C-alpha cells in the first residue's frame, strides 16, 4: 500500500468490494442513481446497533442509565423516531427540537432542554412541554421562574479545561461560552429550593469527539463531587447526573474506536469514588455523534477535474452540504463508491461548487484518476452533516434516505428552487423594457 491509501474502515452494513461501496450487499451507486446526488444515505441498522452497543456497555455498571439522544446531531424526524424505538430520550437545544422529539413519541420525563443564552420564548416552550430544564448560567434562574417553574432543574457545570477532539469542539475552560462554576451553580440551586423546587439534576458537557476513556473517568469524578455538594447545599439528593455527549468516533484511518466498556467503567468508577452509590441517581448520557455519525455516507458525483498540481476534483457536494471540513478542518474519508479503479493514485483535493476558497471537503488524499460522473462517498457523515447544511450560493439542500435490508426510503426530499424562496413575498413582475 502506498502512503495515504489506507482507508477508515466502514462499519456493517457497509462494505467495500468489487462492486464498490455497498450497503446490505447492494451497491450504493444504485441509490445515487435513483435519488440523485448529493445524497445522505443512512443505514438504519447501524443507528440501532450504536444505541445497543452503548447501552450494553453502561447497563452493567449503572442500573439506572439513560440515553438522551442529542437531537442537534441529526434532527431528521425519521432518525429521531428510530432512536426512540431503541428507547432513547432526547436532549434538545431549541423549541423545534423539542417539538420533533415530542412528535417522535419521546415523553417529557425523558427529555432535557439545554439552554445556552435562551430567549424567553424558548424557555417558555420548554416549560410548556414540561421537561427538565438545564440552565447554562445560574443567573438565568430568576428569569426562568418568572415564566414558570420547571418540573426539574439542572445547571450546566464547566469543569475547567479538558480534552476535545478539535479546538472548535472544546466546551470547557474560561474561554468557553458554556456552563458555570459549581460555586455559582450552588447559589442557583439554593435559590430554586427556597422557592419550593425539590427536583434537581446536574449536567456537564466538556467537549466533543473524545476517543480516550480516561477523559470520562474525570467527568465521573467531577460529577460525583458535584452531586455531593448539591445534595449538601439543597438538602435533597439530585435525581440525575448528565455526563453530556462527547463520545467520539474514528474519522481517520489510524484512529481506534472509543472503547465503550472501558468508558462506562471509568465514568461510573469515578462517580463511585466520589461517594455516589451505583443507581443512587440516574446516570444520563446525551450522545449525538456516537449514535449517528458512522451510520451515514454522503454520496456525491464528480463534476469536473482540474489537474494540477494540485489536482482538484470538483464534486456536487460542498461546504453547503457538509460544513465540518471547512469549519473545523475535519477529516472525512473519501471512498470511490463505484467499481474500484486500478492505476496510479494522485494526491487530490476534493472541492465543491461554492465560491469560497475554504470550500474543501478533503485535502491531500490519494485517489485514482477520476472523471466527471464518477461517484464518491464521504464517510462518517451522519452527525452534524445535514444538520449544518445550508443554502449558501442559493443551492437547494440535498435529499436524505434511510436504508434497511428491505430497501431505501426517502426521509427528506431534495429541495427545489421554490424551497429556496419559501417565505419571500411574490414580487411584482418588472414592467416595460429594462
| Residue with grid cell 465503550, as numbered in its chain | 260
Q: Rule CB under 6 A: is residue 288 a binding residue for ligand LLP? A: yes
92 is catalytic: no
Region for residue 148 given its phi and psi (left: phi exceeds 0; alpha: psi -120 to 50; beta: otherwise): left
Would you give the DSSP letter of residue 238?
-
- Residue 287 near ligand LLP by CB under 6 A: yes
97 binds ligand LLP (CB under 6 A): no
Q: Which is nearer to ligand LLP, 301 or 332 (CB)?
A: 332
Selecting among 61, 88, 92, 355, the annotated active-site residue is: 355
Site string (25-64) toward ligand LLP, x via CB under 6 A: ----------------------------------------
Among 178, 180, 248, 254, CA closest to 208: 248
* Nearest C-alpha neighbor of 32 from the set 373, 340, 395, 332: 373
Contacts of residue 423, Cβ cutoff 8 Å, sequence gap at least 6: none
CA 122/CA 94 separation, integer angstroms: 7
**Least CB distance to ligand LLP at residue 388 (A):** 6
Q: Using the rule CB under 6 A, which residue among 43, 73, 98, 241 binds ligand LLP? A: 73
Residue 380 makes contact with ligand LLP by CB under 6 A: no
Give the interface segment with ligand LLP, choosing from 191-199, 218-226, 238-246, 345-353 (CB under 6 A): 238-246
Query: Alpha-carbon distance 166 to 168, whole Å?
Result: 5
Sorted by sequence, the CB contacts under 8 Å of residue 326 that are 6+ apart come out as 319, 356, 358, 359, 360
Nearer to ligand LLP, 362 or 383 (CB): 383
382 touches ligand LLP (CB under 6 A): no
Q: Which stretch binds ligand LLP (CB under 6 A): 6-14, 241-249, 364-372, 399-407?
A: 241-249
Hey, which residues between 106 and 135 contact ligand LLP (CB under 6 A)?
Answer: 114
Distance between CA atoms of residues 282 and 220, nearest Å: 13
The residue number with the shortest CB distance to ligand LLP is 245
- Assess 264 for contact with ligand LLP (CB under 6 A): no
Q: Are 3 and 324 in contact (CB under 8 A)?
A: no
Q: Is 169 in the site for ligand LLP (CB under 6 A)?
A: yes
Residue with smaller CB distance to ligand LLP, 135 or 186: 135
Cα 119-70-394 angle, rounded to 5 deg? 70
Instruction: Name the site residues for ligand LLP (rule: CB under 6 A).
Output: 70, 73, 91, 114, 169, 205, 208-209, 244-247, 286-290, 324, 383-384
Amino acid at each position: 500500500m502506498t502512503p495515504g491509501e489506507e482507508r477508515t474502515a466502514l462499519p456493517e452494513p457497509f462494505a467495500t468490494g468489487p462492486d464498490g461501496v455497498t450497503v446490505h450487499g447492494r451497491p450504493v451507486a444504485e441509490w445515487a442513481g435513483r435519488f440523485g446526488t448529493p445524497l445522505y444515505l443512512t443505514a438504519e441498522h447501524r443507528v440501532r446497533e450504536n444505541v445497543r452497543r452503548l447501552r450494553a456497555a453502561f447497563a452493567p455498571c449503572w442500573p439506572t442509565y439513560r440515553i438522551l439522544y442529542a437531537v442537534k446531531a441529526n434532527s431528521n424526524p425519521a432518525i429521531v423516531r428510530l432512536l426512540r424505538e431503541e428507547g432513547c430520550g432526547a436532549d434538545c437545544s431549541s423549541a423545534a427540537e423539542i417539538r420533533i422529539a415530542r412528535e417522535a413519541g419521546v415523553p417529557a420525563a425523558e427529555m432535557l432542554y439545554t439552554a445556552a443564552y435562551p430567549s424567553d420564548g424558548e424557555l417558555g416552550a420548554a416549560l410548556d412541554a414540561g421537561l427538565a430544564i438545564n440552565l447554562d448560567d445560574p443567573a438565568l434562574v430568576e428569569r426562568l421562574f418568572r415564566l414558570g417553574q420547571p418540573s426539574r432543574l439542572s445547571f450546566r457545570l464547566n469543569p475547567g479545561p479538558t480534552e476535545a477532539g478539535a479546538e472548535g469542539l472544546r466546551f470547557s475552560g474560561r474561554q468557553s461560552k458554556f456552563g458555570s462554576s459549581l460555586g455559582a451553580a450552588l447559589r442557583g440551586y439554593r435559590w430554586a429550593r427556597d422557592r419550593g423546587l425539590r427536583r434537581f439534576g446536574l449536567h456537564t458537557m466538556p467537549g466533543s469527539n473524545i476517543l480516550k476513556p480516561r477523559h470520562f473517568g474525570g467527568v465521573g469524578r467531577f460529577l460525583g463531587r458535584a452531586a455531593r455538594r448539591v445534595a449538601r447545599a439543597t438538602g435533597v439528593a439530585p435525581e440525575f447526573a448528565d455526563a453530556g455527549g462527547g463520545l467520539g468516533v474514528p474519522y481517520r484511518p489510524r484512529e481506534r474506536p472509543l472503547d465503550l466498556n472501558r468508558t462506562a467503567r471509568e465514568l461510573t468508577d469515578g462517580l463511585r469514588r466520589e461517594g455516589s452509590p451505583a443507581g443512587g441517581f440516574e446516570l444520563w448520557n446525551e450522545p449525538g455523534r456516537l449514535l449517528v455519525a458512522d451510520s451515514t455516507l454522503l454520496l456525491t458525483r464528480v463534476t469536473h477535474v482540474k489537474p494540477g498540481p494540485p489536482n482538484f476534483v470538483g464534486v456536487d457536494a460542498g461546504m453547503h452540504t457538509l460544513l465540518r471540513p471547512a469549519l473545523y478542518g475535519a477529516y472525512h474519508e473519501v471512498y470511490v463508491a463505484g467499481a474500484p479503479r486500478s492505476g496510479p493514485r494522485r494526491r487530490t483535493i476534493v472541492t465543491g461548487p461554492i465560491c469560497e476558497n475554504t470550500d474543501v471537503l478533503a485535502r491531500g488524499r490519494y485517489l485514482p484518476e477520476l472523471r466527471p460522473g464518477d461517484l464518491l462517498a464521504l464517510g462518517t457523515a451522519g452527525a452534524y452533516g445535514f444538520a449544518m447544511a445550508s443554502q449558501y450560493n442559493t443551492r437547494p439542500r440535498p435529499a436524505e434516505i434511510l436504508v434497511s435490508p428491505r430497501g431505501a426510503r426517502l426521509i427528506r426530499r431534495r429541495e427545489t428552487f421554490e424551497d429556496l424562496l419559501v417565505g419571500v413575498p411574490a414580487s411584482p413582475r418588472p414592467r416595460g423594457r429594462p
